[in-house]
């Protein structure tokens, strides 16, 4: 494979007009490929205690999903909350709605769940059974909330729509409530919200946390979620639900992603406390000062450091823009798309660089790109030994998945500095370089 | 009986994939949604199969599904051919491409003149049955398409037909057969279909002296090789001491050799010792020794016979996969497609020797005695390659639990 040719296929950030069309994959043959929305739905249902996920799909889809959940305490292991209705040739010809109804009856008989997410996959969506109607009928018949979640992968690029659609489906569980003054957290996928700085700050300010979707809540907490004064949306996947709640229950929302730039974090805190009608907590200026001081100390060292960006817990373009503002040089960014909220960050990146843009989750051909771009750092998941052989250090950021607030900035900087040191060692011939 | 609570049966497509991924120098291109390929990494990793630069997906978009546009696949095939230079590209369907009716054969025919690799379409997308169908079709396809015709034989070599990495202890069983064949006849392994092999070895399979067919799904392939390469075959698998000796003698008969007397003597002695357990059974007042077996057809049949020889009645012999792809199945071995039936049966077992998978183990009371002989693996990993189920070593391992089982009976 020729890295130069691969790069010729790609557009740079400044050339992207329609992200869906202009952000190309490096190759048509991908490995491992993106995760599917079925997995995203599983990630979401895992966090909803008392809810069952009923997969409607092929043996293969059901097998891999169950396989993923078997060792999870949250799921209840082998006997747990992930079940399936597998479809065969007969179901493709004659439909599988009846089979799902039979399975639902068995489930009601055995498990008595508080809610059921009927998650459809590619094939049932192609054959066109009406699972919204099936879910509605099951809800009416058994008095147990049942929601259809559609996770056909051929209509989307990765697993995130599966998470988004599952938590959006929870809207149907919600009932009008008296305002209680607390907040809901929507869109936290990784880590425990309780462990974040944002959670601590809210608790210190006397703000109670109500529902956390999908990171850990009960069906009852979802039902009472409209009691919240504000919804905190910590990832784009929470936006559709937050918008619905705003429209139906009048609940305002604040977008508070895993921002890395202290200025963005400060704006999010100000916005949040303004909706809560509370003064900004005294601890915040000191937290901001510490984050900015960490950046000041790292800036000179990081200046001119080149990197490629893969899959991290952070907001892709916001993180790249922040690193660019520290003098770092993005050479290639793997991204699934650019949304309206990214506009400012795109401009910040373009001030000093114009990186190549490509779709994520196709690591095989990247090794040929390394030979052309020679980045010092790679942020995201890759085979570390392969990177080392190319003189590149991997920046591990997974722990950032459990962070929100000013704590993100020093963590990211610490990881960057550690990896930069490793990169220099590798280039000197040490550390398996 | 429509609800699946545990792991469903792996599909024909999954069996096909885990077989093909054991063939070096070839690449698999899947025409389907990328998520399935990514998702499969967990299972294939657990089965010890390398996937990088061996398995690719094209992904499918809505326009491909609605309009039937296959240009994505055509470009992917050209790209893999150009970048990795494999001798063969297996072009594998997905459930989506099968349902929308993609003509994979047609695409391969059209693209073939433009690529150096040989394109072989596999059109099963997961709806033709369970993994047993998939592995049967894969063995047959490889025998028909990949093996060169030859009548010349390499002396003292054998092939194994029917190795399937989805089966528990597959690699250890292959190594046990290799050991037994060496010790009994001085024969060495040429190729195991499909375990850690390559296209060159498969092409030359016809030159082995004899084919050992260890599961029925490989019989069609064996007959193809018999016709193409005049390769004799023996069907059967060596379970238990007497079963291993019988199997070796049937191989010896086919190749015109006697089993090494020392090995024969040792197996006879061990078989005789094992029959002593019949006496223990007769001394019991409260219990009758009985066994529940669940696993691959030949394991259930062979180990059932082994236990029966020790006075442990193999009352329930349940095949983990459909019996339909088999050419003949003993009446004693059943297939229970519905999970609920197995659950109900398992819940009634007491003081039974259970040779089964981890799911079964979770469903029985603690007064039963368990030995794992089947996948899926839930409570354990599979690391050792010196602990087979087959051969006298496999029998030794099972005897240890049989001893413990008798201690639970009164």
Report pLDDT digits (tens) over A124-144.
999 999 999 999 999 999 999
Mean pLDDT of chain A, nearest integer: 95
pLDDT level of residue A431 (50, 70, 90 thresholds): low
Averaged pLDDT, A111-119: 96
Q: For A267-280, what is the mean pLDDT?
A: 97
SS3 state at B55? strand
Tell me the shortest Cα–Cα distance from B9 to chain A, in angstroms: 6
- Tell me the mean pLDDT in the region A410-424: 97
Alpha carbon distances (Å) from B211 to A212, B230, B245, B305: 60, 11, 18, 24
One domain for residues A54 and A10: no
CA distances from B120 to B27, B94, B139, B148 (A): 10, 15, 14, 16
Contacts B75 to A, Cβ<8 Å:
28
pLDDT (0 to 100) of residue A33: 87
Those residues whose C-beta lies under 8 Å from the C-beta of residue B312, and which sit 6 or more positions away, are B277, B281, B289, B290, B291, B353, B402, B405
Residues of B in contact with A31 (CB under 8 A): 37, 51-53, 55-57
Residues A245-262 have a mean pLDDT of 97
Closest C-alpha to A46, from A75, A66, A80, A84: A75
Cα–Cα nearest to B335, from B325, B348, B323, B346: B323
User: Whose CA is closest to A188, among A32, A18, A401?
Assistant: A401
Interface residue B123 vs chain A (CB under 8 A): no
In a domain, A154, yes or no: yes
Separation between Cα atoms, residue A14 and residue A27, nearest integer Å: 21
How far apart are the C-alpha atoms of A25 and A4, rounded to whole Å?
Answer: 15
Spatial separation of the C-alpha atoms in residues A373 and A306, rounded to whole Å: 9
Q: Looking at A215, A242, A275, which one is the last position of a domain?
A: A275
The span from the CA of B15 to the CA of B81, in Å, is 25
Which residue ranges in chain B fall short of pLDDT 50?
none
Cβ-defined contact of A102 to B1 (cutoff 8 Å): yes
Instruction: Return the top range by mean pLDDT from A69-73, A210-214, B389-393.
Output: B389-393
User: CA-based angle A64:A237:A355, to the nearest 5?
Assistant: 95
Q: Is the pLDDT of residue A429 over 90?
A: no
Cβ contact, residue pair A89, B127, below 8 Å:
yes
Task: Inform me whether the C-beta atom of residue B86 falls under 8 Å from chain A C-beta atoms.
Answer: no
Q: Which of A275, A302, A337 is the last residue of a domain?
A: A275
Which of B262 and A112 is assigned the larger pLDDT? B262
Q: Give A-chain residues touching B45 at CB under 8 angstroms.
A: none
CATH 3.40.50.1980 in chain B, residue ranges: 12-129, 157-261, 270-407
* Angstroms from A346 CA to nearest CA on chain B: 27
User: What region, left, alpha or beta, does residue B156 occupy, with left being phi > 0 and alpha being psi -120 to 50 degrees?
Assistant: left
pLDDT reading at A70 higher than 90: yes
More confident residue, B20 or A361: B20
Query: In terms of domains, do A132 and A20 share one?
Result: no
Nearest CA in chain A to B380: A71
A181 burial type by CB count under 10 A (0-12 exposed, 13-18 middle, 19+ buried) = middle
The complex's ipTM? 0.95
Q: Looking at the structure, tell me whether residues A198 and A261 fall in a common domain.
A: yes
Q: What is the pLDDT of residue A430?
A: 66
Is residue A331 in some structural domain? yes
Residues A357 and A293 in one domain: yes
Cα distances from B172 to residues A253, B168, B296, B384, in angstroms, run 58, 9, 15, 7
> What is the CATH code for B157-261?
3.40.50.1980
Identify the CATH class of B270-407. alpha beta
| A432 within a domain of the structure (yes/no) | no
Q: Residue A260 maps to which CATH number?
A: 3.40.50.1980
- A240 and A340 both lie in a single domain: no
Q: How far apart are CA B82 and CA B68, in angstroms?
A: 25
**A59 closest CB neighbour out of B60, B82, B126:** B126
Q: Is B42 on the interface with A (CB under 8 A)?
A: yes
> Which residues does residue A24 pair with via DSSP β-bridges, in sequence order?
A358
- Under 8 Å CB-to-CB from A9, ≥6 apart: which residues? A24, A26
Q: Is A188 on the interface with B (CB under 8 A)?
A: no
A63, A85, A100, A120: best mutation site toward chain B, by most B Cβ within 10 Å? A63
Interior CA angle at B351 toward B348 and B354, to 5°? Answer: 80
**In this structure, how many other beta carbons lie within 10 angstroms of the beta carbon of residue A139?**
16
In whole angstroms, how far apart are CA B130 and each of A88, B213, B235, B408? Answer: 10, 20, 22, 37
Domain count, chain A: 3
B389 forms beta bridges with: none
Q: Compute, in degrees rounded to 10, the torsion defined by CA atoms B386, B387, B388, B392.
A: 90
Order across the sheet with B290-295: list the strands. Answer: B333-335, B313-319, B290-295, B353-356, B369-372
User: Which of A63, A106, A62, A72 minimizes the C-alpha distance to B344?
Assistant: A106
Inter-chain touch A60–B61, beta carbons under 8 Å = no
CATH (residue range B12-129): 3.40.50.1980
Nearest to A93 by CA among B290, B101, B144, B354: B101
Are residues A388 and A398 both part of a single domain?
A: yes
Whole-angstrom CA distances from A263 to A113, A258, A291, B4 are 44, 12, 10, 50
Tokens of A257: 């992603």
Are residues A220 and A350 both part of a single domain?
no
Per-residue pLDDT, A432 = 52
**Beta bridge mates, B188:** B157
Residue B212, strand partner residues: B160, B234
| A38 in contact with B, Cβ within 8 Å | yes
Find chain A residues with C-beta within 8 A of B66's C-beta.
Answer: none
**Cβ pair B13:A60 closer than 8 A:** yes
d(CA A419, CA A301): 12
Last residue of a domain, one of A244, A275, A306: A275
The predicted pLDDT at position A301 comes to 98
How close is the nearest chain B Cα to the Cα of A38, in Å? 8
Residue A181 clears pLDDT 80, i.e. is over it: yes
What residue numbers bound the domain in which A251 lies? 174-275
In chain A, the largest separation of any two C-alpha atoms, in whole Å, equals 69
CB contact under 8 A, B42 and A67: yes
Q: Nearest 5°: CA angle at B122, between B117 and B124? A: 165
Largest CA distance in chain B: 75
- Domain assignment present for A433: no
B130 contact partners, CB below 8 Å, separation of at least 6: A59, B9, B10, B11, B12, B15, B321, B322
Q: Which residues 337-376 of A are in CB contact (within 8 Å) with B?
A: 361, 364-365
Residues A120 and A20 in one domain: no
Continuous segment of H or E residues that includes residue A111: none
Higher pLDDT, A180 or B319: B319
Chosen for mutation from B16, B32, B34, B337 (greatest number of chain A CBs closer than 10 Å) is: B34
Which of A27, A30, A58 lies closest to B126 in CB terms? A58
pLDDT of residue A433 exceeding 70, the answer is: no
Distances (CA, A) of A215 to A45, A218, B39: 9, 10, 22
Average pLDDT estimate for A223-244: 97
Distances in Å between the alpha carbon of A228 and those of A39, A172, A207, A274, A404? 29, 16, 10, 15, 20
Which chain B residues contact residue A67 at CB under 8 A?
A: 7, 42-43, 376
- A149 and A264 co-located in one domain: no
CB A171 within 8 A of CB A187: no
On chain B, the residues whose CB falls within 8 A of the CB of A161 are: none
């Amino acid at each position: 494979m020729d890295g130069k040719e691969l790069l010729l296929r790609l557009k740079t950030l400044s050339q992207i007009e329609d992200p869906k069309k202009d952000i190309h994959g490096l190759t048509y043959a991908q490995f491992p490929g993106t995760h599917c929305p079925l997995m995203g739905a599983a990630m979401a249902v895992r966090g909803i205690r008392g809810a069952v996920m009923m997969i409607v799909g092929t043996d293969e889809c059901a097998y891999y999903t169950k396989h993923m959940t078997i060792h999870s305490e949250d799921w209840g292991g082998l006997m747990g909350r992930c079940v399936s209705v597998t479809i065969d040739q007969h179901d493709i010809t004659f439909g599988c709605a009846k089979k799902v109804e039979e399975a639902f009856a068995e489930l009601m008989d055995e498990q008595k769940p508080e809610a059921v997410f009927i998650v459809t996959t590619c094939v049932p969506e192609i054959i066109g059974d009406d699972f919204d109607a099936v879910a509605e009928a099951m809800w009416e018949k058994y008095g147990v909330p049942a929601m259809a979640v559609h996770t056909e992968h051929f209509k989307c690029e990765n697993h995130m729509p599966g998470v988004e659609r599952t938590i959006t489906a929870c809207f149907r569980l919600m009932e009008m409530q008296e305002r209680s003054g607390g907040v809901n957290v929507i869109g936290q996928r990784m880590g425990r919200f309780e462990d974040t700085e944002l959670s601590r700050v809210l608790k210190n300010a006397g703000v109670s946390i109500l529902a956390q979707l999908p990171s850990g809540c009960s069906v009852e907490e979802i039902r009472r979620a409209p009691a919240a004064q504000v919804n905190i949306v910590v990832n784009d996947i929470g936006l559709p639900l937050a918008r619905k709640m705003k429209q139906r229950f009048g609940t305002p929302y604040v977008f508070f992603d895993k921002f890395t730039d202290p200025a963005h974090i400060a704006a999010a805190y100000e916005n949040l406390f303004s909706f809560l009608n509370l003064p900004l907590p005294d601890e915040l200026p000191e937290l901001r000062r510490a984050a900015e001081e960490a950046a000041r100390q790292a800036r000179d060292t990081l200046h001119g450091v080149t990197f490629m960006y893969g899959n991290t817990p952070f907001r892709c373009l916001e993180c790249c823009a922040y690193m660019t503002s520290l003098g770092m040089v993005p050479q290639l960014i793997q991204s699934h798309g650019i949304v309206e909220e990214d506009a400012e960050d795109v401009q910040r990146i373009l001030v000093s660089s114009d990186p190549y843009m490509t779709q994520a989750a196709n690591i095989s051909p990247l090794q040929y790109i390394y030979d052309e771009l020679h980045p010092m750092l790679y942020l995201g998941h890759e085979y570390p030994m392969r990177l080392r052989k190319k003189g590149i250090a991997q920046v591990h950021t997974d722990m950032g998945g459990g962070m929100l607030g000013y704590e993100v900035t020093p963590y990211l900087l610490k990881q960057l500095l550690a990896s930069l040191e490793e990169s220099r060692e590798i280039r000197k011939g040490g550390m398996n370089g | 009986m429509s609800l699946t609570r545990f792991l469903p049966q792996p599909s024909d497509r999954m069996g096909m994939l885990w077989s093909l991924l054991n063939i070096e120098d070839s690449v698999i291109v899947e025409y389907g949604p990328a998520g399935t390929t990514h998702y499969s990494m967990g299972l294939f990793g657990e089965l010890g199969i390398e996937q990088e630069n061996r398995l690719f997906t094209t992904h499918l978009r809505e326009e491909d599904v609605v309009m039937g546009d296959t240009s994505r696949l055509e470009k992917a095939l050209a790209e893999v051919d150009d970048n990795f230079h494999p001798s063969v590209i297996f072009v594998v369907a997905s459930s989506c491409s099968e349902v929308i009716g993609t003509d994979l054969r047609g695409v391969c025919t059209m693209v073939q003149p433009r690529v150096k690799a040989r394109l072989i379409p596999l059109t099963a997308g997961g709806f033709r049955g369970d993994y047993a169908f998939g592995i049967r079709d894969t063995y047959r396809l490889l025998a028909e398409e990949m093996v060169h015709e030859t009548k010349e034989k390499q002396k003292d070599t054998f092939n194994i037909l029917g190795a399937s990495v989805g089966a528990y202890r597959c690699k250890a069983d292959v190594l046990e057969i290799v050991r037994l064949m060496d010790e009994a006849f001085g024969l060495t392994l040429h190729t195991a279909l499909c375990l850690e092999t390559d296209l060159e070895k498969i092409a030359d399979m016809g030159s082995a002296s004899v084919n050992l067919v260890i599961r029925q799904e490989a019989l069609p392939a064996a007959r193809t090789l018999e016709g193409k390469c005049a390769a004799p075959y023996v069907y059967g698998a060596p379970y238990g001491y007497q079963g291993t000796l019988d199997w070796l003698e049937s191989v010896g008969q086919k190749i015109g050799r006697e089993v090494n007397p020392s090995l024969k003597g040792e197996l006879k002695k061990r078989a005789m010792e094992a029959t002593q357990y019949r006496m223990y059974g007769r001394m019991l007042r409260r219990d009758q020794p009985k066994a529940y077996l669940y696993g691959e057809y030949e394991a259930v049949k062979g180990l059932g016979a082994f236990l029966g020889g020790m006075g442990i009645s193999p009352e329930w012999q349940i095949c983990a996969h459909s019996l339909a792809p088999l050419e003949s199945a003993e009446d004693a071995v059943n297939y229970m497609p519905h999970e609920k039936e197995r659950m109900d049966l398992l819940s009634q077992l007491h003081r039974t020797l259970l040779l089964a998978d981890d799911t079964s183990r979770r469903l029985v009371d603690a007064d039963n005695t368990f030995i794992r002989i089947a996948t899926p693996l839930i409570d354990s990993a599979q690391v050792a390659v010196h602990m087979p189920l087959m051969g006298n070593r496999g029998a030794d391992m099972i005897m240890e639990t049989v001893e413990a089982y008798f201690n639970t009976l009164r």
